[in-house]
Structure 1
Amino acid sequence: MLSSPLFLQFPSSMTDEQFFEFCQMNRDLRIERNQYGEISVMPPTGSETGNRNFNIAGQLWVWSEKDGTGICFDSSTGFKLSTGGERSPDVSWISSERWNVLSTAEQKGFAPICPDFVIELRSASDSLKPLQEKMEEYMQEPGIQLGWLIDRKNSQVYVYRPHMSVKCLENPDSVRGEHVLPGFVLNVTKVW
């Protein structure tokens, strides 16, 4: 059985550059820092979760290539949030208009931007509460428009929108990208 994330405390004097270097030295781990400076170290996902996450990313990528208005990112991509956290959504998308405002140097590191759209996939070993807290952190960010927390364990999709109540969909066959990702429909039956 996979273990839960390990949470570490580092001195608050760890700069963004030092954190980025720390993550680069430990590429086999998925490392995030929340808005309070707490660092979580997560082991690689199990094969089943990795397959489901790849399926989600693949569906979004196909839509994004046809749509052409933005770019997708996988789970190994870190973003520097305005809250001070550095987060890595399982799948994310940013409009080209927002992405192209960043300098080349900003695009190469943990880009100082929150994606327009994020997806988090709950694996068998994940607790729901930390994922919900992570989604709430995204919703505090400028630029975020939509987020989905996919809970495979309970066959639920939590839909997050800034300044709105969270909506829980029970065992949906699909989820639509609304006005944020017009025409994108995620086939959730491939994820369950």
Structure 2
Amino acid sequence: MITTTAAKKRSSTLLIYPPEPLEIDFGNLLKPMDDDDFFYFCQRHRDLRIEMDQFGEITIMSPTGSETGGINFELSADFAIWARADGTGKGFDSSTGFILPNGAKRSPDLSWIKLEKWLAVPADLRKKFAPICPDFVVEIRSESDSLKNLQAKMEEYIENGAALGWLIDVQDKKVYIYQQNSKVQELENPSEISGEPLLLGFVLQMKNFFG
């Protein structure tokens, strides 16, 4: 964990994974970040994935490894084909930030929102981090990710309104499926996973993920 004087003045903790020296521009912030402050902070550091939990703790993640990036690409490509044909919602990539109802700022590896729900968000708020929880979220566990932390994040999505969440653990060849009012389903090396009933007709073939 790395803390800075600027971070202390803002009463926030700065966590950097992996722990490497980074130049972070906090600007003139001497107070906890509000939603706009956090958005512009992220814009100043576009090469990093930055999240903030509901308590104001900031986590900065380095770019993914090549293997994880390739897996994310395959997932996004397969899902984009389905989403475009389906037309009932809008999909988002891993660089998209959302403000959840509990105040946390999260960037899932992939997400999708029902179209009518997305269009209900005022246009000006859509240009920043939209104050909305996606209906469907996916997180892919990379080599540096803590499974426990990712599981907590998935629980947070469900608690804040997500209807379906997939945690894809490439290392252990497992998929954890999260749904409203249901126990977490753990699948061992599945050949495919279905998004129904939320994502009608979407089935993800796992051969490109687990080999």
Identify the residue that residue 124 of structure 2 maps to in structure 1: 105
In the TM superposition, what whole-angstrom CA distance separates every residue of 1:104-159 from its partner, at most 9, and x where no partner exists?
A: 111111000011000000011211011001101101113x1100000001100000
Distance 1:123 1:83 in 2: 26
* Structure 2 residue corresponding to 1:148, chosen from 157, 161, 166: 166
1:58 counterpart residue number: 77
| Residue 156 of structure 2: aligned partner | 137
Does the aligned pair in 2 maintain the 1:80–1:111 contact within 8 Å? yes
1:70 aligns with 2:83: no
Q: Give me the whole-angstrom Cα distance separating, in 2, the residues matched to 1:174 and 1:36.
A: 37
| 1:24-173 equivalences in 2 (<5 Å) | 24-142=43-161, 144-173=162-191
Deviation at 1:13, TM superposition (A): 2.7
Deviation at 1:5, TM superposition (A): 5.2
C-alpha displacement of 1:4: 3.3
Q: Is 2:191 the partner of 1:178?
A: no
In the superposition, the TM-score normalised over structure 1's length comes to 0.93
Residue aligning to 1:4: 17
Count of residue pairs the alignment pairs up: 187
The root-mean-square deviation of aligned C-alpha atoms, in Å, is 1.7
- Higher CA-based Rg: 2
Q: Mark the CA change 1:12 to 1:33 in structure 2 (over 3 Å): closer, same or farther.
A: farther
Higher RCO, Cα 8 Å, sep 6+: 1
Taking structure 1 as reference, are residues 190 and 12 closer, same or farther at Cα in structure 2, changes over 3 Å only?
farther
Q: Secondary structure of 2:41's match? A: helix
**What TM-score comes out, normalization by structure 2 length?**
0.85
Matched to 2:189, the amino acid is N
Which runs of 4 or more aligned residues in structure 1 lie more than 4 Å from their structure 2 counterparts after TM superposition? Answer: none
Q: Secondary structure at the match of 2:74?
A: helix
